[in-house]
Structure 1
Amino acid sequence: MPINQQGAQPLSAQIEEDLRRQITAGEVQVGAKLPSLRSLAEDYGVAELTVHVAVKKLQHEGVLTSVSGRGTFVSAKPDDVAPSDETSELQAIRDEVRELRMRVEAVEQSQSEAGR
């Protein structure tokens, strides 16, 4: 479970990626209980809050499920989870921004050519 403490990528994102990799590779099976946040934090050498952020993201995606008083469990492989509506909306916004950027560049280019 190596993470790069000095890397540019946030530690929580690195942990999220590592947990996702472990689940996808079958190292952690669907239905398996994850170790406690405290235990994961010790394994990764980070604060519990950092692990909590990674776990929450995977819960939001539907990969993990927490059961009060019992723990956090793997509910699905990352590839088996359908994109959420929020993910679809975000992609739609990105597409629209990309289109607007191209239109602005086209207008700027035509103005530049007209000024010559």
Structure 2
Amino acid sequence: MTLVQDERPPYVQVADTLRAEIASGEHQPGAKLPSVKKLAERFGIADMTVQSGLRVLREEGLIVSSAGRGTFVRSDVDLSAIGAGAAPAEDDVRVQLAHLTSQVGQLAARIEELERRVIAPSVPD
């Protein structure tokens, strides 16, 4: 299954698809989700895009990740509450804002590293 071409960013489509699968019971509370690599293959996108989608679900409190073990649906997730709350348009804005905030942080770190390399005094030969 590859993602359809729509106006939403691919990572939002991944988050929406997995959220719907969790809500429908396809992924039960406590269940392990497929690996990032398998999800990337399934959706036909890059691993980093899948990771961005998973980050959205982590921020929503639907999933947890454990280094070396994988990503799991929270065992205490309330399936009836998924999709409740803010209107979809507001949810999309929040997701996009979280993504942009992450990207700005990554860019700031890259700029800081570049400045450190350029501005740092050169070592004489």
TM-score normalised to structure 2 length: 0.60
Q: SS at the partner of 2:18?
A: helix
| Superposed displacement of residue 60, structure 1 | 1.0
Report how far residue 7 of structure 1 moved.
1.5
> Are 2:50 and 1:51 equivalent residues in the alignment?
yes
1:70-85 matched pairs, under 5 angstroms: 70-75=69-74, 76-77=77-78, 79-80=80-81
User: Residues 77 and 51 of structure 1: is their aligned pair in 2 closer, same or farther, counting only changes over 3 Å?
Assistant: farther
Alignment partner, residue 19 of structure 2: 20
Residues 68-114 of structure 1: CA distance to partner in whole angstroms, max 9, x if unpaired?
A: 1100000024644797xxx9xx8xxxxxxxxxxxxxxxxxxxxxxxx
Task: Tell me the number of residue pairs that the alignment of Structure 1 and Structure 2 aligns.
Answer: 84
RMSD of aligned C-alpha atoms? 2.2
Could you tell me how far apart the structure 1 residues matched to 2:26 and 2:47 are?
22
Return the letter of the residue paired with 1:24. A
Task: Give ranges in structure 2 of 5+ residues lacking alignment.
Answer: 86-90, 95-125
Work out whether residues 2 and 44 of structure 2, in 8 Å CA contact, stay in contact via their aligned partners in 1: no
Q: Which runs of 5+ in 1 are unaligned?
A: 91-116
Deviating runs (4+, > 3 A) in structure 1? 77-83
Which residue of the partner structure matches residue 31 of structure 1? Answer: 30
What percentage of aligned pairs have identical amino acids? 40
